[in-house]
């Protein structure tokens, strides 16, 4: 039943495009960040930075806007990360899908909490994601890799999340809200 009964005009093409753009904003910006961090920036930890950015974005949007970050999009982002990065194909896909699942299923509790508790939850997810990636890459290459890069990736992800969350929260409130279209 309609909340506001009455005759309404048909939505214009511009309004429909605006709604689609706002709904696709989380996936599009995450893909753009992936492409930007895959470029020849010559940063010392560029591969870990790429993993940290995409992990933080998927966690944030899966927690606060799960309709705009469906599992199919997370799969595509993971595949893009694997193709642009140095990991075997499937490692980022599995890691991001597990991150999405954890964030999605814990959103009823975490979305109501303050930033500190959400960040603590992300710390655990970042450590688990780094350990999972290290284990999968070690398993797929048939050799035990050094643990240092995985620890560095977890620390980088944890340290990068607060400034990333500020930017994503700002865009969540202003740009990406489909109801404001």
The full set of domain ranges for the chain reads 13-176
Which residue blocks in 65-147 are alpha helix, DSSP H? 71-84, 91-105, 107-110, 115-141
Question: What's the pLDDT tens digit per position in 68-120?
Answer: 999 999 999 999 999 998 889 999 999 999 999 999 999 999 989 999 999 99
Report the chain's terminal Cα–Cα distance, integer Å: 22
Q: Supply the pTM of this predicted model.
A: 0.89
pLDDT band at 146 (very low <50, low <70, confident <90, very high): very high
pLDDT in tens, 54-72: 999 999 999 999 999 999 9
DSSP state of 89: T
């Amino acid at each position: 039943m309609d909340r506001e009964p009455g005759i309404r005009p048909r939505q214009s093409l511009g309004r429909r495009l605006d709604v689609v753009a706002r709904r696709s904003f989380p996936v599009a910006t995450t893909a753009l960040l992936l492409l930007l961090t895959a470029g020849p920036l010559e940063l010392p930890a560029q591969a870990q930075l790429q993993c940290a950015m995409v992990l933080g974005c998927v966690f944030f949007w899966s927690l606060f806007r799960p309709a705009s970050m469906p599992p199919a999009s997370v799969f595509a982002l993971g595949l893009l990360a694997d193709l642009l990065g140095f990991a075997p194909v499937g490692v980022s896909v599995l890691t991001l899908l597990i991150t999405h699942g954890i964030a999605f299923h814990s959103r009823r509790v975490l979305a109501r909490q303050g930033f500190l508790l959400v960040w603590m939850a992300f710390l655990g997810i970042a450590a688990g994601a780094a350990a999972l990636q290290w284990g999968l890459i070690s398993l797929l290459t048939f050799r035990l890799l050094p643990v240092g890069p995985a620890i560095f990736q977890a620390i980088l992800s944890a340290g990068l999340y607060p400034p990333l969350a500020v930017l994503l929260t700002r865009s969540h409130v202003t740009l990406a809200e489909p109801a404001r279209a």
